[in-house]
Amino acid sequence: MDKVGKEDQNFGMRLFVLLIFLLGLESCSFSEPPLPPVRENRELVVMTRNSPTTYYEDANGNYAGLEHDLAIMFAEELDVNVRFVVATELNKIIPALTKKQVHLVAAGLTVTPDREKILRFGPPYQTVQQQVVYNDLHLEPRSMRDLIGKNIEVVAGSSYVERLKQVKKQLPKLKWREVTDVEIEELLEKVANGEVGYSIADSHFISLVQNFFPDLEVAFNLGKPEQLAWAFPKDVDPYLLDKATTFFGRIQQDGTLRRLLDRYYGHINRLDRIDVVTFLEKTNSTLPDYLKLFQQAQEITGMDWRLIAALGYQESHWEPLATSPTGVRGLMMLTGDTADRLGVNDRLDPKESILAGARYLLTLKDSLPDRISDPDRTWMALAAYNNGMGHLEDARILAQRINLNPDSWTDMKKALPLLSKASYNSKLKHGYARGGEAVIFVENIRTYNDILMKFNPPYKAPIMNFSSAKERSRLGASPIHLDKSTKP
């Protein structure tokens, strides 16, 4: 064989070896190795989902959500750091857990028979109901049989797929589409907008989304109520599972879990469909007229304009000439005495009213004990805006007497309505008050605020540089004296 022939043969051999090597590499697994135990690495790795019921960034740029808060508290109890891994698709969660690429999943997972075959679940912390949803412009289905031949979409990898497979055994003609590129909230929005015919979701999620999209309606419940729980690998480290069991037992016993659930879901069912529709209409027709005034109030007080606007809507539906039989007037419904203390010349002037109402709410917040943190601090200040600081303080004293937490809005929602009962108010400094009305007042504002945050971006106020106390006073930023017995 000549020299050229040998070189061709050698080249061919090298190419063959290279191909075999590459094929070998392709067949190898490059998945990440299992995580070391939490105690060994001093880090808890939690997989979650980006949604309003689990883990999200709030208006202030901080992370929040029920699952976020629970995981943070659990890591503190373990005395380790926590690292969140956000799943881009629901159907990628269980594979990541079974490969032990995370220690646990805190993503609002439903405990189902199929999942229990491959996972371990911790103690349940919430009960939900699967429901079929549709757009109210369509004919309401009465049963799954009515959905045969309809456009049904559900999130791939969800417990809803598992339930549909069970139904299909009785209804072989039932078909649906499993989508991977959307989260549940986005899919429900598509149903509300008529882009998708029908879908399935958990009751708490639907109630939350209905406040943003009132055309979304519930047709019927699907199956029996189910429970949500954290998920662990089947061969979970016994230490971690034992700690999680103890953790959930404690927070259920001491009321922490109840307060967390109330923080995220306690207000979502307060408004009916007509309330939400009317509010959404007014955000388009009326809010633009006062948007700059609400934003200016944020510049001066530092409070989010959307909260101030939600307060204004609850008070007057953004009607600057509103007047009540008791004499409160204007867009923020101020009393004459409060307006005088705030230096308001004309309560019917929306510019004066909005700024004064925001300043008054800020004063109420500042007057509360420093140990009360947000969001409870804000909700209590709003209750005082409605009932007066004196009555709020009475309710806090009463809460202590009946073994409730006076620094928790969840517990204060139980104490405030008792102010209308003679057996309680007769022993309090300020006597009778419609405390139940204050609770409704606050819960409505919470929902309006949620809606405004959903559809309106935050406002980045310019830095205020007051050159003198006189200018600060002129802009309405100076503090006011608060008489705890007064109302707005």
Active site positions, annotated: 315
**Closest to 441 measured CA to CA, from 311, 342, 337:** 311
Give yes or no for a contact between 220 and 141, defined as CB atoms under 8 angstroms apart.
yes
Give yes or no for a contact between 305 and 459, defined as CB atoms under 8 angstroms apart.
yes
Distance of CA 219 to the CA centre of its chain: 24
**Closest to 407 measured CA to CA, from 299, 224, 255:** 255
In DSSP terms, which residues pair with 405 in a beta bridge? none
**What residue has token string 């070896």?**
17
Give yes or no for a contact between 382 and 311, defined as CB atoms under 8 angstroms apart.
yes
Instruction: Report how far residue 333's alpha carbon sits from residue 321's, in angstroms, rounded to the nearest whole number.
Output: 9
The three-state (H, E, C) secondary structure of 85-152, written as one string: EECCCHHHHHHHHHCCCCCEECCCCECCHHHHCCEEECCCCEEECEEEEEECCCCCCCCHHHHCCCCE
Distance of CA 357 to the CA centre of its chain: 26
Amino acid identity of residue 417, one-letter, is P
Instruction: Report how far residue 196's alpha carbon sits from residue 469's, in angstroms, rounded to the nearest whole number.
Output: 58
Instruction: Report how far residue 242's alpha carbon sits from residue 74's, in angstroms, rounded to the nearest whole number.
Output: 12
